[in-house]
Amino acid sequence: MKLKPITQSFSVRYEYNLYFTQGLFQRGNSVFLDILKGYKADEKIKLLFVIDKVVSAAHPDLLNQIEAYCEANPNHLNYTQTLLIAGGEQSKNKAELVDTILKGINENAICRHSFVVVIGGGAVIDMVGYAATIAHRGVKLIRIPTTVLAQNDAAVGVKNSVNAFGKKNFLGTFATPFAIINDSDFLKTLTQRDWISGIAEAIKVALIKDKLFFEYIAKNAIPLKMREMDAMHHVIYTCAQMHMHHIAQGGDPFESGSSRPLDFGHWAAHKLEHMTNYELRHGEAVAMGIALDVTYAHLVGLITEKELQVILEVLSTIGFNLQLPIGTGEEISQLLGGIEEFREHLGGKLTITLLSEIGKKHDVHEIDVALMRKAIEDLRDQPILK
């Protein structure tokens, strides 16, 4: 008996909001409450909080503020527990932390109409988001990012992940958060490394999409380095807006294809993070990856020497160390192995985003490994970096 295949198609609408505020859990701030009321106005909603230990230590009143906030709104908010976990990229390397989150979801009876609220940097948000999306096939998630990189990039997308088998983001899911809330108060306690780290992602998106935005960053490189909040607010808002627009309008929100312009500079960044045992911040590695790829783009004739020097100078002025933490031929070969790993991550077809000019991306499907090796050596010898 020969039966015809049964075909069905359907579409699903996704929508989520990024909110901006200050003092999120202060009594007079209604942003968090209004978001939960927007889900179910007449029901008490169960909440499980997960907080990065570093954030909790930097903001010692945070836990009390959260509990007091929930107690002040007993008809709407049902606080269950706060889990404190170690943050940083290492949090994505430890399977037991995923189990900790899943245990908390189970023991507090967090269902698909309850919320996990994660407060921390991009790595913690990635890991907790992954746990939340595999529990009950997905419980609702509110992200409260606390670093520049998380507020303008890592937390505003639709990806969740952990590292495995020595590869970054090997396990992961695509799932939209219910909401993201950027509280600028969290930025005030960042170390200088974490303050500038997220600017690398803004430079990334400016270089591939918006020359005027790059020029703004270049003009404000020193104010950004000196922690001027107005300049940083503009960078975070613009970068997040461009990132979310790309997800919605780029035609491939769940990355089923091979072109990933938002991964500009990332093939090397991911490998450098792993090679340094994640001692490099993600943004620091991205800055190095951008520097390497624009050096290569110059070698293959895509951008001019002037454009290359402008990009390197902006990165350097903001405070990034662009000297790759590799020296031996073996280490260079290991880094170059990241190209093949990136191909595998994409699904077999290599697509690496380069630049044809500042503000305009140029995808390539092959890398001249000998020239990339020369780019590594040239970047190491750049006088602007001395």
Long-range own/partner contacts, residues 276-279 (CB < 8 A, 24 or more apart) = 276/325, 278/88, 278/89, 278/90, 278/93
Instruction: Please tell me the pTM assigned to this model.
Output: 0.91
**Distance from C-alpha of 29 to C-alpha of 34, rounded to nearest angstrom:** 9
Contact (CB, 8 A) for 90 and 57: no
Band of pLDDT at residue 158, cut at 50, 70 and 90: very high
Any idea which residue has 């991009």 for tokens? 122
Backbone angles phi, psi at 17, to 5 degrees: -120, 145
Give the start-to-end residue ranges of the domains of the chain: 17-189, 192-385
**What's residue 374's pLDDT?**
94
Assigned fold of 17-189:
Rossmann fold (3.40.50)
**What's residue 34's pLDDT?**
97
Higher pLDDT, 93 or 229: 229
168 pLDDT higher than 90? no
Tokens, residue 335: 């880094």
pLDDT in tens, 303-346: 999 999 999 999 999 999 999 998 788 999 999 999 988 887 77
pLDDT in tens, 52-95: 999 999 999 999 999 999 999 999 999 999 999 999 888 998 89
17-189 and 192-385 agree in CATH topology: no
Amino acid at 54: V
In this structure, the strands spanning 360-364 and 352-357 are: antiparallel
Average pLDDT, the chain: 93
**What's residue 345's pLDDT?**
72
**What's residue 39's pLDDT?**
92
Provide, rounded to the nearest whole percent, the portion of the chain with pLDDT above 90. Answer: 79
Tokens, residue 204: 């990334």
Question: Of 1.20.1090.10, 3.40.50.970, 3.30.70.141, 3.30.420.40, which CATH number belongs to 192-385?
Answer: 1.20.1090.10
